[in-house]
Amino acid sequence: MIASPTNGTHTRPGTQTRVGPRGFAAMSRAALKALLSPLTGARDSAQAEPCDERQQTFPLARGGRVEVLNISGSVVIETTESEVAEIEVVRRARRAVDLKYHQVMIEQTPDGLLIRGLEDRAAYRRGRQVQQHVRLKLPRAVTVSIKGVGGPVSIGELDGPLQVERVAGTLEVGGIAESLTAANIGGRLRAGILSLGPRGLHLSNVGGPVELHVRGELNADLEVRGLSGRLRSDVPNLTMLAPENAVQTRARFGAGGCQISIRQVNGDVRITQSL
């Protein structure tokens, strides 16, 4: 079922940047005009950029599932202690007529929500391009799955399982308390580890360095393969079980436990202790 929005769809222009006169008093009129012309052009361009914005709110209980699929731009997820999901979708295009293509569907499913970008390949071939950006506010205690994002992904602290695949940009996760599976990430990956459940943490095919920030005590078994850089760690309860320069590096946090698997990373893997 396609859920109806609780708030309407509206169009809003881009924001303006004001440049005050302070510091320019001694300049000639011609010099001042030449200096400000690039700023004025950027402001006019932002004003002219067609923009379509939609906001919806849904009840979402603990343990629900949220899926985000095929978004051409960025995805930002904030987490709260409530049982309400707030969704904001912004679409931008060079021409207003292009906004009728590449819609973003929001569907209420039996166990949660599905936010899905619709890709019109014929429209792309005709040069009708639309940037889709999604911002969510979700309860912490939900399962989140994100697949196919053309920009960066940023997520707050999450108590439920998190799965992220096929992201063209960076991935930032404020904190995970259950599990994280991330694959085919185009840029840097940075995540906080609050705790880990039996599913552990699995990273593969990351196009930039990996940073993991451990908060509190961690008991897990670590396996690292295929780094172009080095494994670096200042976590006090980490014991190396195989040399860092081995094809497969193994280590143990504390007494060991769930699996942390990191494979094919373009850069260093840095694991640090955070307060």
Secondary structure percentages of the chain, helix, strand, coil, to 5: 10, 50, 40
The confidence score (pLDDT) of residue 43 equals: 44
Burial class (CB in 10 A: 0-12, 13-18, 19+), 68: buried
Nearest of 83, 75, 31, 85 to residue 167 by alpha carbon: 75
Torsion of CA 106, 54, 65, 216, to 10 degrees: 160
Question: Mean pLDDT over all residues of the chain?
Answer: 83
The full set of domain ranges for the chain reads 57-274
DSSP 8-state class, residue 70: E
Q: Which of 15-24, 128-137, 249-258 has the lowest mean pLDDT?
A: 15-24
* Percent share of the chain, pLDDT over 90: 65
Query: Of 45-49, 227-231, 259-263, which has the strongest mean pLDDT?
Result: 259-263
Q: How many CA atoms lie within 13 A of 12 on its CB side?
A: 11
More confident position, 96 or 19: 96
Per residue in 50-99, pLDDT (tens digit) is 888 999 999 999 999 999 999 999 999 999 999 999 999 998 888 787 78
Residue 213 pLDDT > 60: yes
| Burial state string for 117-152 with b = 16 or more CB within 10 A and e = fewer than 16 | beeeeeeeeeebebbbbbbbbbbbbbbbbbbbbbbb
Element (H, E) at 90: strand 84-93
The model carries a pTM of: 0.79
The confidence score (pLDDT) of residue 47 equals: 55
* Percent share of the chain, pLDDT over 70: 77
